[in-house]
Amino acid sequence: MKKTPLAEVKERFGSKENLVKELKELFDKGEVFENRLSTDKGITHVSNEKLLKLHGVATEVKERFGTRAKLVDDLLKIEKREKDEGLRARYEKWGLPRLFDHYKSVARRAR
């Protein structure tokens, strides 16, 4: 039986605050994702399910690429558009889950 997001957060991280703290540590200082959130509420008001997905994506990107910039570089390399600065700027505006999903689909197509 599948666990609820709350049960999974409590089992893996202890509390939502610990999950948020770990997420902030995963992102480099320049890769602030809080500017995408409501300034009144912040990240603590995001659902547990979304936080778990973001943690999974951020962990995988950190392990495979090291930084978000290297993910963008690899994506452009697969598409054979390394010199396209307009596309690079466009990708840098995308959220990490969207960027990683796009990378996976492009890499699958390239094979």
pLDDT digits 0-9 by tens, 50-72: 999 999 999 999 999 988 899 99
Q: What angle do CA 12, 8, 35 make, to 5 degrees?
A: 85
Answer yes or no: is pLDDT of 88 > 90.
yes
Answer yes or no: is pLDDT of 40 > 70.
no
Split at pLDDT 50, 70, 90, the class of 25 is confident
Of the chain, the percentage scoring pLDDT greater than 90 comes to 63
Q: Are 27 and 58 contacting, i.e. CB atoms less than 8 angstroms apart?
A: yes
Q: 3-class SS at 46? A: coil
End-to-end CA distance of the chain: 35
Q: Are 70 and 103 contacting, i.e. CB atoms less than 8 angstroms apart?
A: no
Q: 3-class SS at 93? A: helix
Q: What residues have CB less than 8 Å from 23, skipping those under 6 apart?
A: 43, 51, 54, 55, 58
